[in-house]
Chains A and B, each alone.
Chain A
């Protein structure tokens, strides 16, 4: 079946602009994670959605970052007033209910100029 998909695959934006990154999880997966991977860095947890529970936003680096998940499926990560330090690959992963193995999307490479 289809895996996790993310769009766009690449995004170049000017400093100060807002961007939206999209993640389509595997159908039926109730948990969804967003991570950030900066050049030469490990995985930085951003936010975690599990079913209808309140999301775990503890990893969001500032109030410029927000995410929502509509209908328990598609998720959008929004970065407002982008800064150059926001340049990174943004990864999305999903898991089945109660499952722990994560299935990753290909990522969105964001470049802020």
Chain B
């Protein structure tokens, strides 16, 4: 099974500033990588995913993440955050197939007006 590290439990950032939420995973095999988001008082939903192909993936609301195999990372970035991006973000790598998905401990992004 995968293990995953989200080093930052909380990230405060001013509105319109850039942000990076870090995710590192451990694996020596091919992986699938996911970021899920949980807005205040809501359920978890998929933000973006890497399955294969281009290592840079984007979400519809301006977030992007790049799969870096050599560094075993899948950091989430946004060049300019909005108040509505305030949420908790979970990184989830998987070894694929029927292996259990592992979630990181989450990073709370707080956007400050």
A and B are interacting partners: yes
The residues of A with any CB-CB pair to B shorter than 8 Å are: 31, 33, 35, 42-43, 45, 48, 50-51, 53, 56, 91, 93, 95, 98, 100-102, 104-107
New A-B pairs, 5, CB < 8 Å, besides A42-B90, A91-B44, A100-B96: A42-B106, A45-B103, A53-B98, A91-B43, A93-B44
A100 and B103 in contact (CB under 8 A), knowing A42-B90, A107-B43? no
In the bound complex, do residue A33 and residue B97 qualify as a contact, i.e. CB atoms below 8 Å apart? Answer: no
CB contacts (< 8 Å) of A43 on chain B: these are: 44, 90, 103, 106
CB contacts (< 8 Å) of B101 on chain A: these are: 33, 95, 100, 102
Which residues of B (49-68) have their CB < 8 Å from a CB of A? 49
A45–B3 CA distance with the chains assembled, in angstroms: 13
Is B27 on the interface with A (CB-CB < 8 A)?
Answer: no
Interface of A is mostly: strand
A106 and B103 in contact (CB under 8 A), knowing A100-B32, A100-B96, A101-B49? no
In the bound complex, do residue B43 and residue A42 qualify as a contact, i.e. CB atoms below 8 Å apart? Answer: no
Report 15 cross-chain contacts, Cβ distance below 8 Å, ordered by A residue: A31-B98, A42-B90, A42-B104, A42-B106, A43-B103, A45-B100, A91-B43, A93-B44, A95-B101, A100-B34, A100-B96, A102-B46, A102-B101, A104-B36, A107-B43
B67-106 vs A, Cβ < 8 Å mask (1 yes, 0 no): 0000000000000000000000010101011101111111
CB contacts (< 8 Å) of A50 on chain B: these are: 98
Of the residues A51, A56, A104, contact of B44 by C-beta under 8 Å: A104
In the bound complex, do residue A98 and residue B98 qualify as a contact, i.e. CB atoms below 8 Å apart? Answer: yes
A51–B97 CA distance with the chains assembled, in angstroms: 13
In the complex formed, the residue of A with least CB distance to B51 is A100
A35–B102 CA distance with the chains assembled, in angstroms: 11
CB contacts (< 8 Å) of A56 on chain B: these are: 100
A35–B104 CA distance with the chains assembled, in angstroms: 13
A50–B94 CA distance with the chains assembled, in angstroms: 15
CB contacts (< 8 Å) of B102 on chain A: these are: 45
